[in-house]
Amino acid sequence: MLKKLLFPTAKQHNTKPYLCRMKILDGKKASQAIKDELKIDVAQLSAEGKKIPHLAAILVGANGASETYIAAKVKACEEVGFISTLIRFEETISEAKLLAKIKELNNDPDVDGILVQLPLPKHISDEEVINSIDPDKDVDGFHPVNIGRLMQGLPTYIPATPYGIMLLLEHFKIETSGKHAVVIGRSNIVGRPMSVLLSSNTYPGNCTVTICHSKTKNLNDYCLQADIIIAALGKPEFVTADMVKEGAVVVDVGITRVEDSTRKSGFKLKGDVAFDEVAPKCSWITPVPGGVGPMTIAALMKNTYHSCITKN
């Protein structure tokens, strides 16, 4: 298990006050800074003859978006100097075979982190698969043991996307203490852990958090009261200017592929925020792409590094 807290306590940080003019929470820049630091740390491990972090990633089937995400994770491993193993299975693989592979990776002392790219085919239970990963190698932070530790404020593997958002807020020294954060979305991998992290007695953290979801009434009213909005619902351009208070910090988690025949790929990526109209009202805002996406990968790299140095 991790031995140190991943975020400083609220007393240990300095933050800048909100600025009036909109600024970009540039995830590419922040993630590069994290990867550059990790690269130095890995070089140090190597120089000392210590073990190099090893991430094993499993991809089932050939979903276009999953292929893109997994390729980006493998590339990030190369960039920071980790070893990575990509294990591919046909869409038709049985759950038993997949679980057997995870067991093998759990028992392999050379593997520090295991991730299974979601979504999985319908005949395989996400829950069974997540629960089968050794919590000490669960660098995606989805295992119930790690979620439980997060709830208790104990050192843990924080799910990569909310962890990436916390790192982004930290990188740009965004003031969070006492702010009202509205999280839209309550999924186990984004919205719910995000709400726990933002309400924790850490920096970033100490927000008063409202968590909204598909059954929330008067969502606009909550959003208009928000100093910080985390939009994680997966509905393109859902958050519009009339929902955002002047000076708010807006973090757009959404990534939806929207058809675009003018592009070679045939699609473009859209966030959950109508960027063009919302941005002028914000103090800070994430772009899509180039915001939360790269931070998720940087957070995964950090979790894998910590797994390695904790065990070895």
Residue among 4, 2, 13, 18 nearest 250 (CA): 18
The three-class DSSP label of residue 17 is coil
Strands 256-259 and 267-270: antiparallel
Distance CA 203, CA 15 (A): 9
Instruction: CB nearer to ligand NAD: give 205 or 254.
Output: 254
Residue with tokens 């104990």: 154
Query: Shortest Cβ distance from residue 17 to ligand NAD (Å)?
Result: 27
Instruction: CB nearer to ligand NAD: give 56 or 211.
Output: 211
- Choosing from 73, 101, 137, 270, which is the catalytic residue? 73
Is residue 73 annotated as part of the catalytic site, yes or no?
yes
- Choosing from 112, 136, 138, 140, which is the catalytic residue? 140
Is residue 225 annotated as part of the catalytic site, yes or no?
no
Distance CA 237, CA 104 (A): 43
Instruction: CB nearer to ligand NAD: give 6 or 212.
Output: 212
Query: Shortest Cβ distance from residue 286 to ligand NAD (Å)?
Result: 9
Q: Which positions touch ligand NAD (CB under 6 A)? A: 161, 184-187, 189-191, 212-214, 216, 219, 232-235, 253-256, 292-293, 296
Count CA atoms within 13 Å of residue 212 on its CB side. 22
Query: Shortest Cβ distance from residue 260 to ligand NAD (Å)?
Result: 17
Phi, psi of 295 (to 5 degrees): -70, -35
Residue 45, C-beta contacts closer than 8 angstroms, at least 6 positions apart: 51, 52, 53, 308, 309
Query: Shortest Cβ distance from residue 190 to ligand NAD (Å)?
Result: 4
**C-alpha angle 142/143/144, rounded to 5°?**
115
Instruction: CB nearer to ligand NAD: give 102 or 231.
Output: 231
27, 28, 33, 36 alpha-carbon torsion, rounded to 10°: 140
Residue among 309, 312, 308, 310 nearest 55 (CA): 308
- Choosing from 35, 101, 112, 117, which is the catalytic residue? 117
Residue with tokens 């089937």: 61
Query: Shortest Cβ distance from residue 24 to ligand NAD (Å)?
Result: 16
Is residue 117 annotated as part of the catalytic site, yes or no?
yes
Catalytic residues, by residue number, are 73, 117, 140
